[in-house]
């Protein structure tokens, strides 16, 4: 009787934890190959030299529920993230080697600060335009298949990615669509405390032959509340000046075109344009 009871408990625990110990019928390299194909293929992604996301962030961690943002990306590793809240503009810039944060408050001189060592390491490990698995060998990433889990009702392959910096994270690839549906990564708050952030990728759409998630949710593994990054529009291969990714000279000025992009439409209930 005791052995039967232990068996029932073990079975319940297996259901709760998911099929993480199950053997996979595919290798890590085969899963990655199928994932690259599902996202549009290497050739289509290599044609993309620049990309811009325009959208808003829905959060309960700010006084404004919807924070307009613009994310600019340019090969090989340049990024710029502008987010606006309550007439204040926050900017994060990475030129591939160095990074800066800018906080612009009305009636005050903008403050430009270099990335901390932690921020710089994280920036070097960022996915860039392609994501972590595209051409991973050329980027000297080590990928290992750890098992098979269930993520929100989906069977998913759990991969561990180790970066040249030594940092690592998990990526879950849907076993049916072979699209990335979840990832986790270590984060560090202002007090130096570390934790795990869970990221979920939703609402994939095809644009110019490649698939991208238009909703990205993130939050700590200990909290049920998540922030939502909602992409209203994606631009493929727009012209981006390298100057946008360099350390700005004070005073910081934001082009009017950029301000228009990060200002949401005024009519209530306006439907976002999802076309490029």
- Range with the poorest average pLDDT among 67-71, 72-76, 103-107, 203-207: 103-107
Domain ranges in the chain are 18-261
Q: What is the pTM of this model?
A: 0.79
pLDDT value, residue 50? 97
- Give domain 18-261's CATH architecture: Clam (2.50)
Residues 273 and 81: their CA atoms lie apart, in Å, by: 20
Share of the chain above pLDDT 90, in %: 53
Residues 265 and 275: their CA atoms lie apart, in Å, by: 16
Residues 126 and 65: their CA atoms lie apart, in Å, by: 26
46-84: pLDDT as tens digits: 999 999 999 999 987 666 678 999 999 999 999 999 998
Residue 118: pLDDT band (50, 70, 90) is confident
Is 3 exposed, middle or buried (CB count within 10 Å of its CB: 0-12, 13-18, 19+)? exposed
Phi, psi of 261 (to 5 degrees): -70, -35
214-226: pLDDT as tens digits: 999 998 877 778 8
* 248-262 average pLDDT score: 52
pLDDT value, residue 254? 46
104 in Cβ contact with 91 (< 8 Å): yes
pLDDT value, residue 191? 53
pLDDT value, residue 17? 39
* 181-210 average pLDDT score: 85
Residue 12: pLDDT band (50, 70, 90) is very low
DSSP string, 123-191: HHT--TTT-SSTTTTTTT-EEEEEEEEEETTEEEEEEEEE-TTS-EEEEEEETTT--EEEEEEEEE-TT
């Amino acid at each position: 009787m005791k052995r039967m009871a232990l068996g029932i408990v073990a079975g319940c625990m297996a259901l709760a934890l998911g099929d993480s110990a199950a053997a996979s019928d595919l290798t890590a390299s085969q899963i990655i190959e199928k994932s690259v194909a599902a996202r549009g293929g290497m050739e289509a992604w290599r044609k993309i030299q620049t990309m811009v996301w325009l959208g808003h962030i829905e959060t309960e961690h700010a006084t404004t529920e919807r924070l307009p943002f613009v994310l600019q990306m340019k090969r090989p590793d340049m990024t710029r993230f502008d987010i606006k809240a309550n007439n204040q503009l926050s900017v994060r810039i990475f030129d591939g080697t160095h990074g800066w944060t800018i906080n612009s408050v009305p009636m005050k001189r903008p403050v430009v600060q270099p990335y901390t060592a932690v921020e710089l390491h994280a920036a070097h490990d960022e996915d860039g335009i392609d994501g972590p698995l595209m051409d991973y060998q050329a980027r000297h990433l080590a990928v290992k298949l750890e098992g098979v889990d269930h993520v929100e009702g989906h069977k998913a392959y759990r991969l561990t990615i180790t970066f040249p910096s030594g940092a690592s994270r998990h990526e879950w690839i849907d076993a049916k669509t072979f699209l990335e549906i979840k990832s986790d990564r270590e984060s560090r708050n202002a007090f130096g405390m570390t934790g795990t952030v869970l990221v979920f990728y939703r609402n994939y759409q095809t644009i110019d032959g490649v698939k991208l998630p238009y909703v990205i949710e993130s939050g700590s593994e200990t909290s049920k509340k998540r922030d939502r990054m909602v992409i209203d529009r994606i631009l493929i291969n727009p012209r981006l000046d390298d100057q946008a990714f360099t350390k700005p000279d004070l005073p910081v000025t934001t082009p009017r075109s950029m301000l228009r992009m990060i200002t949401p439409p005024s009519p209530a209930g306006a439907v976002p344009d999802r076309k490029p």
